[in-house]
Structure 1
């Protein structure tokens, strides 16, 4: 009996996010478009992961690490864009998405330790870690302390720029960004904030602005890609350039027309950049 292939939403231009993407982002824990959910006990917390099937290409596993106040949901478009060539995993950090909520809000280092334990629980080979926004801080901390677990690093819209390293400064930039993002992302943010609880979001923002990410950036040994949207007010060109200079083996890619959520609204472009990073001729330099 012939089965029809799983339909995936058509890629949308940078800065857009349509109804099909929204439905898939909110589908978990139900299977959808080849994405499934699973839970594993990691450091005593029931930790949720949204993942794709292994395409059988031998490609490096790609781990997507979400930002502040959000979860795996908004990274679904990027997971699907990479699914044909790489096994993709999008864990929810402690307290966010469908992962168990601890009684305290973890700081950057504690999130990085949890992610390292998550990698060990999955017996993951050296992986490509893609961190967006606050997730880039977590990935940088992990890569600096566990270099053997990392094949490559992608810092997408990394926070936080020292020129606005305060709760007021970051919140102000995020407010500007909301005017540049696709409106249909709003239901995802609302769902994620309800899951996490506002107090955890506020506390995690406090941890972020107290985190001196520069100290971790200079210790990243893996080939690194710094990805930002050209219209990202959270990560201006000056901070993007500084991040790229600090990481020893980094190069930058700017996606025209995209704002801060570049992994959501420009998944095809970001996926192509990740594949280029993972090409043997680049990662072996």
Structure 2
């Protein structure tokens, strides 16, 4: 590695650290959102937390690919007065450690479950977007008695129903984009790579990711090993499909909210969710594609708050 490359990586790491601290610190002007880390199931997990003094069931927010726990800051602001809210960086992302294996969603859910228990909680309310919804479903399927409600936000469940025909699979080249050569091709071009997702998976790129968020996420994934870890989320899909097909044989019973972008998967995820849980309320987010929190924050946050605030059902 050249001196210039080493310098740029150090600059990127410094910017990421500054951004990580600045985001919660900025939010703290209105609410006490704090950044922490904890060892769980052999993985060091970084997480944001708010509403530590609130009573009731904690809410766990699970982010998707090309983002980190940072995506949940606006929702945490809305919830922190009534709920304890925990938003981890998934294994391999953000400030969390990068295990050598275990990027299948069953194992990642076990990591999050261990974190929840290490933080003194048992039952939770789950919210997941993109890859995060897969982890949320794997959590609920493995620990159904510990999940009071679950939200799935715009993506799909590998191995459930006719999952190979979902809209995202028309752009499935990146599912097999992993290994030394893809990592070398993307190195130093992380933002260019992510622009494909941020722009092409948005109804209107100008209303999707902000410039500040684009810089933050690109720097986060540009750190050594992070792109490899992110690629592994997709590399694990064949195993996820096998695991989820098995999970689906035992339907869930907790209330489930499904939010889907009008211009993305449409009703696909809603229909798919009803194959694994008969207690589904589906909502189409108007005018939005994949990035619901960024493209339609008002409708998305209102739906999430309304569902999460419903009295506990167990």
Q: Same fold (TM over 0.5)?
A: yes
State the match for 1:284 in structure 2. Answer: 313
State the match for 2:247 in structure 1. Answer: 216
Structure-2 separation of matches of 1:95 and 1:268: 30
Structure exhibiting the larger radius of gyration computed from Cα positions? 2
1:76 maps to 2:73:
yes
Structure-2 separation of matches of 1:63 and 1:142: 11
Larger RCO: 1 or 2 (CA < 8 Å, sep 6+): 1
1:120 maps to 2:117:
yes
State the match for 1:163 in structure 2. Answer: 165
Distance 1:120 1:141, change over 3 A: same
Which secondary structure state, in structure 2, belongs to the residue aligned with residue 89 of structure 1? strand
Q: Contact (CA 8 Å) 2:124, 2:149: kept in 1 or not? A: yes
Of 201, 204, 210, the residue aligned with 1:180 is 204
Distance 1:87 1:270, change over 3 A: farther
Q: Which segments of structure 1 move beyond 6 Å, counting only runs of 4 or more?
A: 23-26
State the match for 2:278 in structure 1. Answer: 248
Q: Contact (CA 8 Å) 2:64, 2:128: kept in 1 or not? A: yes
Structure-2 separation of matches of 1:155 and 1:170: 24
Q: Contact (CA 8 Å) 1:224, 1:247: kept in 2 or not? A: yes
5+ residue gaps in structure 2?
1-17, 158-162, 176-195
Structure-2 separation of matches of 1:240 and 1:158: 10
When structure 1 is superposed on structure 2, of 73-82 and 132-141 the one drifting more is: 73-82
Q: Contact (CA 8 Å) 1:224, 1:251: kept in 2 or not? A: yes
Q: Contact (CA 8 Å) 2:98, 2:229: kept in 1 or not? A: no
Give the structure with the higher percent helix: 2
Distance 1:215 1:82, change over 3 A: farther
When structure 1 is superposed on structure 2, of 75-84 and 140-149 the one drifting more is: 75-84
Give the drift of 1:176: 2.5
Of 127, 143, 158, the residue aligned with 2:140 is 143
Structure-1 separation of matches of 2:154 and 2:174: 15
Give the drift of 1:243: 2.2
Structure-1 separation of matches of 2:56 and 2:302: 14
RMSD: 3.0
With structure 1 as the length reference, what TM-score do the two structures score?
Answer: 0.78
